[in-house]
């Protein structure tokens, strides 16, 4: 084998390793009804769901007694969803500290998951902040400060996310609208596009074979250069 052939093979093997590391594996969303499309709202207005309701498929409404959240279709005032045609307003008619909790999701202890979701602002009301927690653990706050450019398309959506190492075989995700000074409002905090996906882990055998091949070719090239 010539030095040029060894060099070419080394480059190809290095490229294969890089592609294996970068190529995303297809991951399915583990959250049921993450875009809040069921129940399907017929007509031009929103529907309110009270604390404790499980009428929104895959979710339970959170809040104090007599609180409610709002399932909003894009036919209401032209308020477009981030995904498909429906989204949740965590303020209901008005207020903070209410929201939704997902049904239990089967998770693997020690596995890494990625949670993503969209936070929506309605132009007249300003920025929005919501809190996210998993299995009742510490809450993280996420704020969308961007506003729509025109009143003819008054919703602005921003996507947030983070990785999480599962510590239980069952996980429930909670979202609550939160007060945050000028960075939130009590009239419209949008939630949509909730997804939990298992992060891919490279197969140990694949990495071992690729690394061994690269080391062997590197050693051969050095001997040829000696």
DSSP assignment of 116-179? EEEEEEETTT--EEEEEEETT---EEEEE----S-TTS-EEEEEEEEEEE--SSEE-EEEEE--
Helix (H) or strand (E) holding 13, with range, is helix 3-22
Residue 16 has pLDDT above 50, yes or no: no
| pLDDT at residue 27 in the model | 82
Percent of the chain with pLDDT over 70: 77
- pLDDT tens digits, residue range 35-77? 999 999 999 999 999 999 999 999 999 999 999 999 999 999 9
Residue the block writes with tokens 């809190």: 131
DSSP 82-117: SSTTEEEETTTTS-SS-EEEEPPEE--TT-EEEEEE
Tens of pLDDT along 203-220?
555 444 555 555 655 555
pLDDT of residue 149: 85
C-alpha dihedral (173, 140, 179, 145), degrees to nearest 10 = -110
**Cis bond before residue 39 (omega within 30° of 0):** yes
Paired sense of beta strands 99-102 and 59-62, if any: antiparallel
pLDDT of residue 198: 98
| CA 28 and chain centroid, separation | 12
Task: Determine the pLDDT at residue 152.
Answer: 77
Q: Are strands 155-165 and 47-50 parallel, antiparallel or unpaired?
A: unpaired
pLDDT tens-digit profile of 95-108? 999 999 999 999 99
How much is the pTM? 0.80
Rg, C-alpha atoms of the chain: 24
Query: Mean per-residue pLDDT for 134-155?
Result: 93
For the record, the structure tokens of 89 come out as 């307003």
DSSP 8-state code for residue 124 = T
Q: How far is residue 155 from each of residues 82, 103, 123, 145, 193, measured CA to CA in Å? A: 9, 28, 6, 12, 14
CA 184, 187, 193, 196 torsion-angle sign: positive
Residues 6+ apart with CB under 8 A from 180: 127, 129, 141, 143
Q: What is the pLDDT of residue 150?
A: 84
């Amino acid at each position: 084998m010539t030095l040029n052939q060894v060099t070419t093979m080394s480059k190809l093997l290095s490229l294969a390793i890089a592609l294996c590391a970068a190529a995303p594996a297809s991951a399915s969303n583990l959250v049921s009804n993450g875009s809040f499309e069921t129940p399907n709202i017929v007509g031009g207005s929103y529907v309110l769901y009270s604390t404790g309701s499980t009428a929104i498929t895959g979710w339970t409404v959170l809040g104090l007694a007599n609180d409610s959240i709002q399932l909003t279709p894009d036919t209401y005032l032209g308020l477009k969803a981030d995904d498909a045609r429906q989204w949740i307003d965590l303020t209901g008619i008005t207020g903070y500290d209410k929201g939704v909790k997902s049904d239990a999701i089967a998770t693997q202890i020690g596995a890494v998951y990625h949670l993503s979701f969209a936070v929506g602002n309605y132009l007249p009301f300003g920025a929005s902040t919501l809190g996210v927690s998993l299995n009742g653990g510490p809450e993280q706050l996420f704020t969308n400060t961007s506003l729509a450019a025109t009143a003819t398309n008054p919703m602005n959506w921003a996507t947030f996310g983070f990785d999480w190492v599962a510590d239980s075989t069952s996980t429930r995700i909670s979202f609550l609208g939160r007060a945050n000074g000028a960075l939130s409002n009590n009239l419209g905090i949008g939630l949509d596009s909730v997804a939990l996906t298992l992060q891919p882990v490279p197969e140990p055998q694949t990495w071992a074979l690729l690394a061994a091949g690269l080391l062997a070719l590197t050693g051969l090239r050095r001997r040829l250069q000696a």
